[in-house]
């Protein structure tokens, strides 16, 4: 096990929230560089299965509107959506669908070496980095921070990172509101 792998393992559990599937995604990205070549598909599947068994449906893979098992988030029980910030100036997913009126907790994980922010709200406020728009900042490498937001209007809503030059480089995403 090399240092990178140890870091990955530590990153799977952040703030008590399980990042189901994150290992697969990271492995896929690091794989071409050769750093993760010693992780087999079976190892990854086993790790994920064990964690899913421990955490059930509480992890950040809750199905969205239209998907089987979708339960709209509420103020007391927000739906958790995991968002990967980076590597580079990207969010994944870059388009997120929410039901109108639901409350969502975004678990934002910085995956690369950059420090990111996550702002969410009305699209115009997010685009212009309007003070007071909900955001979490200073999300360092392999850190996770969460932000809870209620989509009580028709939209359009958006999310973005306004760390210097990140937004301009394309670090933004779209929220689709369905009724
Ligand atoms: Cu950023």
Whether residues 49 and 89 fall in one domain: no
- What confidence tens digit (pLDDT) does each residue in 108-143 have? 999 989 999 999 999 999 999 999 999 999 999 989
What pLDDT score was predicted for residue 47?
Answer: 38
Same domain, 101 and 142: yes
Enumerate the β-bridge partners of residue 159: 120, 173
Q: Is the peptide bond before 87 cis (omega within 30 degrees of 0)?
A: yes
Q: Residues 33-82: pLDDT tens digits?
A: 333 333 333 333 333 333 333 333 345 568 999 899 999 999 999 999 99
Strand ranges (E), 49-171 = 79-85, 91-92, 95-99, 103-110, 116-122, 135-139, 144-150, 157-160
50 in a structural domain: yes
Give me ligand 1 centre to Cα 114, in Å: 7
Same domain, 44 and 86: no
In a domain, 34, yes or no: yes
Say what the pLDDT of residue 85 is: 96
Residue 139 CA, ligand 1 centroid: distance in Å: 9
Residue 161 CA to ligand 1 centre (angstroms): 5
- Boundaries of domain holding 34: 3-57
Q: Is residue 118 part of a domain?
A: yes
For residue 153, the CA-to-ligand 1 centroid distance in Å is 26
31 — pLDDT class (breaks 50, 70, 90): very low
Q: Which pLDDT value is given to residue 60?
A: 56
Domains in the chain: how many in total?
Answer: 2
Q: Is residue 143 part of a domain?
A: yes
Are 100 and 163 contained in the same domain? yes
Yes or no: say if 59 and 19 are a contact pair by the CB < 8 Å rule: yes
3-class DSSP state for residue 73?
coil
Which tokens go with 147? Answer: 């932000």
Q: Which is more confident, 63 or 20?
A: 63
Residue 179: pLDDT band (50, 70, 90) is: confident
Task: Report if residue 121 sits inside a domain.
Answer: yes
Q: Is the pLDDT of residue 12 over 70?
A: no
Q: What is the pTM of this model?
A: 0.68
SS3 81: strand
Distance between Cα 56 and ligand 1 center (Å): 31
* Whether 84 and 126 share a structural domain: yes
Q: Is residue 134 part of a domain?
A: yes
Which tens digits make up the pLDDT trace of 76-115? 999 999 999 999 999 999 999 999 999 999 999 999 899 9
Task: Tell me, yes or no, whether 41 and 83 share the same domain.
Answer: no
In a domain, 73, yes or no: no
Residue 118's alpha-carbon distances to 43, 78, 102, 178, in angstroms, are 32, 18, 19, 22
| Pair (114, 157) in one structural domain | yes
């Amino acid at each position: 096990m090399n240092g990178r792998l140890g870091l990955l393992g530590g990153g799977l559990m952040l703030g008590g929230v399980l990042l189901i599937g994150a290992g697969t995604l990271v492995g896929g990205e690091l794989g071409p560089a050769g750093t993760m070549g010693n992780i087999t598909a079976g190892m990854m599947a086993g790790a994920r299965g064990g964690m899913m068994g421990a955490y059930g449906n509480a992890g950040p893979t809750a199905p969205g509107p239209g998907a089987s098992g979708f339960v709209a988030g509420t103020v007391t029980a927000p739906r958790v959506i995991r968002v990967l910030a980076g590597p580079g100036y990207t969010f994944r997913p870059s388009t997120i669908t929410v039901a109108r009126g639901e409350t969502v907790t975004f678990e934002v994980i910085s995956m690369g070496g950059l420090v990111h922010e996550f702002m969410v709200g009305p699209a115009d406020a997010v685009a212009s980095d309007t003070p007071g728009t909900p955001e979490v900042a200073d999300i360092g490498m392999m850190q996770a921070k969460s932000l809870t937001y209620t989509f009580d209007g028709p939209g359009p809503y958006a999310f973005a990172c306004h760390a210097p030059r990140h937004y301009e480089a394309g670090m933004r995403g779209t929220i689709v509101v369905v009724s």
